[in-house]
Amino acid sequence: MASFIERYRWLQEKTGHALQSLRVHQLIIALIFIDATLVIIDLGYSAVRPDCHAPGEKPETPLWLEVLSHISLAITSLFLVEIPLTIWSLGVWWYWPFGSITHAWLHLFDAAVIIATFVLEVVLRGKESEAASLLVILRLWRIIKLVTGVTVGAGELDEERAEELERNKEELEETKVQLAACQEQISQLQKRLNPFLSPEE
């Protein structure tokens, strides 16, 4: 039982570290760019397509646009899966704006946008689906958040390295002082021993 709990906590901790890793952030940014590009293409086609169809009939959607729509939905689904994984590995406080997490309200807004986008893309059709696509563009704010997070992390890393470098300098200075003291002691011992040492004949 204890072994199972340890493995469970280990997996939970590993998942949390993975979700906060730089590679995952970069992957999410790339997916956001791809998703936003697909949405812009969809909206652009909807704006310029010929609207010549019989009354009561829906305009035909090209196959390539259907493929892009499914890719966009798949990306949104990945973002949706990220939410319960984050709650499980990092805790519900990750989305609680009144807790100790600095950017919790941003995480909460992100989750709300993801859920709303997924529901609108799956449930709604026609004009409503275009409104759902517009919501995907709102997720571009995440790029700013992630870039800021990476920048802050890099700044903290630089600060840690600077502090470590300063500690190394202090240790080096202390070592130099100790070395100078040892050399002085050796010099004094040599002076004391010189009268007792006679040159070899």
Q: 33: left (phi > 0), else alpha (psi -120 to 50), else beta?
A: alpha
The one-letter amino acid at 83: I
Name the strand (E) or helix (H) holding 58: none
Cβ atoms of 105 and 93 within 8 Å: the answer is no
Tell me, rounded to whole angstroms, the distance of Cα 116 from its chain centroid: 22
The answer to whether residues 87 and 101 touch, using CB atoms and an 8 Å cutoff, is no
Per-residue confidence of the chain (201 residues) as pLDDT tens digits? Answer: 668 888 888 999 999 888 888 788 778 878 877 887 887 787 777 777 665 555 555 567 788 888 988 898 898 899 899 999 999 998 898 888 888 877 777 778 778 878 877 877 777 655 555 555 555 555 555 455 545 444 444 554 555 567 778 888 888 888 888 888 888 888 888 777 777 665 554
Q: Which residue has the tokens 């790339």?
A: 30
**The predicted structure's pLDDT at residue 197:** 62
Here the tokens at position 58 are: 């829906």
Residue-level pLDDT at 183: 84
pTM of the model: 0.61
| pLDDT value for 84 | 94
Parse the chain into domains and list their residue ranges.
2-49+58-139, 144-201
CA nearest to 21, candidates 91, 81, 89: 89
